[in-house]
Amino acid sequence: MEHIRMPKVENVRLLDRLSSRRAVVGTLYLTATHVIFVENGSETRKETWVLHSQISSIEKQATTATGCPLLIRCKNFQVIQLVIPQERDCHDVYISLIRLARPVKYEELYCFSFNPKLDKEEREQGWKLVDLNEEYNRMGVPNSYWQISDVNRDYGVCDSYPTEVYVPKSATAHIIVGSSKFRSRRRFPALSYYCKDNNASICRSSQPLSGFSARCLEDEQMLQAIRKANPGSDFIYVVDTRPKLNAMANRAAGKGYENEDNYSNIKFQFIGIENIHVMRNSLQKMLEVCELKSPSMSDFLWGLENSGWLKHIKAIMDAGIFIAKAVAEEGVSVLVHCSDGWDRTAQVCSVASLLLDPYYRTMKGFMVLIEKDWVSFGHKFNHRYGNLDGDPKEISPVIDQFIECVWQLMEQFPCAFEFNERFLIHIQHHIYSCQFGNFLCNSQKERRELKIKERTYSLWAHLWKNRSDYLNPLYRPGHSQTQGTLHPQIAPCNFLYKFWSGMYNRFEKGLHPRQSVTDYLMAVKEETQQLEEELEVLQERLANLQRSQSGNNKVKSKQQDKSKQFGLYTSNNSLANTPQEYSNDLKSFPSRSPSQGDEDSALILTQDNLKSSDPDLSANSDQESGVEDLSCRSPSGGGCLPSEDSGKDSDEAVFLAG
């Protein structure tokens, strides 16, 4: 691998951000796909794996007496602080990582080398898990109002749209093409969600090229057609998700928004969601607050407010709530757009869909929702999440904000979602990881050209396979919260929006609740299921017993097994932890005995006892991915991890990779 100047550095220190006392010494490895830090000594051999595609920035800080500090910030909000003894080594690692973290060709991305050892058929099955045709049928289209249009079959009208889009039946090809010429990047109004109970729909597009006075008959007819597709209502809402000022400024560039005088029967509405640049800066500011070393409460709250992040989240939610209300309560169709119709529009349409339709609150439905509103409608994943080296001004946490909106809703409606917080966190992780092909490129057209489905694997199949890890134990299909539309509290509600430490301080386990209610309840439910099965067997056996008098030994031994399993989650649950630095005053006072130190680390270990599908496992992160990757590339063919005592061969195996 020509970009790796320095495949291995020894005696590197990994600092703990919360406690300077807890630095560990180990060896740093650079491979074709990962940065790996392996702790020295002890039988535990804790490892930290970071995918190159997760690296968002690398900072080389001034050399100190102890070495040269290197700060790696990741897109999944992990921050890694290393101290490398030699300045020269540090520089080499730095230069290598800069290049590795910014691939220039799609082929360099991890998903093209990632091999989960599935055969061709399994891979194809994986890609078929989410099927948008099926989804539109589920919604109730095509029907007498809506039909599929093939006007974009060769991406001839709009290259960022999918080939198959639903449009009102009365919208002819002529109207569509005409309308598309009057819209930014030719993104004409198309169906996002259809409510079969009352025929109201959510449509999406980009801004009209109206300038100060321009009109387009076909575009006006297009909006008429949308209105007519909902006979129950005599108008439609047109929602421009931008702040009014921004929309007005666009008019000077020949773009803009719909003039109510030109379109019959529309009600026009601005909803002020800020643009990608404001959002990028807001996240940056919030992350600075998250990174503060032992901040005071005021530092934290003030910084959080100053970042404006929660205000932006609320703005997106408010837009979604407005649209859901229009569709569900007023029975009015809505056309949503922003500028290009691929960022704010995607956020708002998907939040509204989620509020309206309980299906999207199931695990499968949520995958479908992302596939529908984000992937198929040309959300620019590559540009927004910086998968390939590109313009840093294009990067913005657009889908991160949508994911957070879902989390905020989960906090307010704890029984409404089939999936749990971990599911959201892992989706966020993989939007940046490039381990799966789902989120590559900027459009369906690019993905087809790249033959993503033949060359990579689908994230959805991977998550589905591990779905038991992602279940919300409180979800019950018959529960009232899983029915119908969700109505979040509108006012007063500011206090309902909370900082999501599970995401933004995700890797600082010490900050999170030490016992997980979700995991506990899932373990109980699992056991309940076993009990049900055993009970069934027993009842059967009992019935037999009444007939014959033999054989109760087997049952008894089974019963013992059960109690052992029960003990498993009991011990997990009663884990301890270690104190933080509550005071500086203690440092100079009696040092701890070594036995206490051992106890600490043992305790930390139990704490790290995480689910195997968890990508943030620091002990053996990317278990399938990383290990598989190394083994398939290693000339010696061994699946062993880089290790101090496994000698030179295996080291070479790692670094000659790629």
Partner 1 sequence: MEFAELIKTPRADNVVLHCPFHLAVEGTLCLTGHHLIFSSRRQDNAEELWLLHSNIDSIEKRFVGSLGTIVIKCKDLRIIQLDIPGMEECLNIASSIEVLSTLDSVTLMYPFFYRPMFEVLEDGWSSFLLEQEFEHLSSVTNEWRLSYVNKEFSVCPSYPPVAIVPKSIDDEALRKVALFRHGGRFPVLSYYHKKNGMAMMRSSQPLTGTNGRRCKEDEKLVNSTLRSGRRGFVIDTRPLALAQQARAKGGGFEQEVHYPQWRRIHKYIERFHILQESFIKLVEACNDQSHNMDRWLSKLEASNWLSHIKELLTAACLAAQCIDREGASVLVHGSEGTDSTLQVTSLAQIILDPRCRTIRGFEALVVREWLQAGHPFQQRCAQSAYSNSKQKWEAPVFLLFLECVWQIHRQFPCSFEFNEQFLIMLFEHAYASQFGTFLGNNENERAKLKLPQKTMSLWSWVNRPEELSRFQNPLYEANSLVIWPSVAPQSLQLWEGVFLRWNRPSKFLEEAEEERINIIKYNKELQAKLNSHVMAEGR
* Secondary element (H or E) of residue 426: helix 421-433
In the complex with partner 1, the residue whose CB is nearer, 118 or 610, is 610
| In contact, 49 and 29? CB cutoff 8 Å | no
With vertex at residue 353, the alpha carbon angle to CA 350 and CA 355, rounded to the nearest 5 degrees, is: 110
Number of residues written out for the chain: 658
- Beta strands 8-15 and 24-30, pairing class: antiparallel
Q: Is 276 labelled as part of a ligand binding site?
A: yes
C-alpha–C-alpha distance, residues 85 and 63, integer Å: 9
In the complex with partner 1, the residue whose CB is nearer, 252 or 535, is 535
Q: Is 343 labelled as part of a ligand binding site?
A: yes
Per-residue burial over 274-304, b if 16 or more Cβ lie within 10 Å, else e, is: bebeebbebbeebbebbeeeeeeeeeeeebb
Those residues whose C-beta lies under 8 Å from the C-beta of residue 549, and which sit 6 or more positions away, are none
C-alpha–C-alpha distance, residues 369 and 353, integer Å: 8
Q: Is 342 labelled as part of a ligand binding site?
A: yes
C-alpha–C-alpha distance, residues 469 and 522, integer Å: 9
* Secondary element (H or E) of residue 21: none
Q: Is the peptide bond before 397 cis (omega within 30 degrees of 0)?
A: no
In the complex with partner 1, the residue whose CB is nearer, 59 or 536, is 536
Instruction: Please confirm, yes or no, whether 68 is among the known catalytic residues.
Output: no
In the complex with partner 1, the residue whose CB is nearer, 254 or 551, is 551
Q: Give the single-character DSSP code of 373.
A: I
* Secondary element (H or E) of residue 559: helix 553-573
Alpha helices in 202-343 (DSSP H): 217-228, 244-251, 276-291, 297-307, 309-325
% helix / strand / coil in the chain, to the nearest 5?
50, 15, 40
**Nearest approach, Cβ of residue 490 and partner 1 (Å):** 9
In the complex with partner 1, the residue whose CB is nearer, 66 or 565, is 565
Whether the CA torsion 299, 305, 310, 312 is positive or negative: it is negative
Those residues whose C-beta lies under 8 Å from the C-beta of residue 63, and which sit 6 or more positions away, are 69, 87, 90
**Nearest approach, Cβ of residue 585 and partner 1 (Å):** 5
In the complex with partner 1, the residue whose CB is nearer, 124 or 526, is 526
In the complex with partner 1, the residue whose CB is nearer, 202 or 355, is 355
Q: Is 341 labelled as part of a ligand binding site?
A: yes
Residue 646: other Cβ atoms inside 10 A: 13
Alpha helices in 231-275 (DSSP H): 244-251
Among 338, 349, 405, 434, the one annotated catalytic? 338
**Nearest approach, Cβ of residue 575 and partner 1 (Å):** 8
Q: Is 344 labelled as part of a ligand binding site?
A: yes
**Nearest approach, Cβ of residue 481 and partner 1 (Å):** 6
Q: Is the peptide bond before 142 cis (omega within 30 degrees of 0)?
A: yes
Residues contributing to the annotated binding site for substrate: 275-276, 338-344
Residues at the binding site are: 275-276, 338-344
Catalytic residues: 338
